[in-house]
Amino acid sequence: MDLIFFTKSLKGLSAEETAEKAREIGVDGLDLTVRGGYCVNSGDFETTLAPAMEVFANAGLSVPLVTLEGSWTDPSQQPVRDLAAACAGVGIPYLKLGYWGWDPGEGFWPGLDRVRSDLAGFAEIAAETGVCFLLHNHSGHRYGSHATGGMLALEGIDPDRVGLYIDPGHLALEGELIAMAVDIARPSLRMVAAKNVRYRFVANGRDSHWDDEWVQLSEGLQDWPGTIRALKAAGYDGPISLHGQYSGTDGVDDVLARASRDVDYLRELIG
């Protein structure tokens, strides 16, 4: 299970700086954010992707995954086909899609039909270009907020064209047991995210509430030793993308210091 670092926290850095930061925390590769403001983005990937990949290769870093804009859910509107072809051309096998929100006015089942139609469109692009798109489970009012919902959305779709990207941190918020989630996702499981979360009580009179607090992997609701055991039992040996998502961080250096501790923790668990 190679450890890769999600570069979302490295906005504004060059490819060389991104590689340097990744090497500092000891990961094997990158989950490359291709969004506005990054060293490769959706507006300039035709000229920046290949040079960036050369930088990463020279630094000894693999790039198995590109994360697209969170709004990229329509296969007909974005330059997704060209980007998918470009990723295939430089050896990037996986592209993470955006998120489909649940609209109570539309209704769940009509919305699911819409999501399935979009995913089928991405599957066609995947077949043409040779990449595999990924549906990431994200807690909240979204389709595919857990493994069960993700597999429901992917019903009938070739998992080598559109696979499932499970996120144990978000699964903890959704209440889906990790061992069961891995078993549910197994036929389509292609990627795993690494982060953890716990609840924090915010006292504010009548507006008091529980808030999400993103923490070190060893400190949150999700059982990461159990997660690794479940992944091994399922025969999963693919990448784990460390998201570097922590509440209350003080700049990039703080994020990377916390991420470095989580890298060491994961390597110990993986053995």
The full set of domain ranges for the chain reads 3-270
Q: Which of 19, 85, 2 is nearest to 10 (CA)?
A: 19
Residues with pLDDT less than 70, the chain: none
Q: What is the pTM of this model?
A: 0.95
Does residue 162 sit in helix, strand or coil?
Answer: strand
CATH fold of 3-270 reads: TIM Barrel (3.20.20)
pLDDT for res 72: 93
pLDDT confidence of residue 42: 87
- CB neighbours (10 Å) of residue 96? 23
pLDDT of residue 161: 98
Q: Which two tokens stand for residue 66?
A: 């590109």
The pLDDT of residue 78: 76
What's the confidence (pLDDT) of residue 77?
A: 81
Amino acid at 24: E
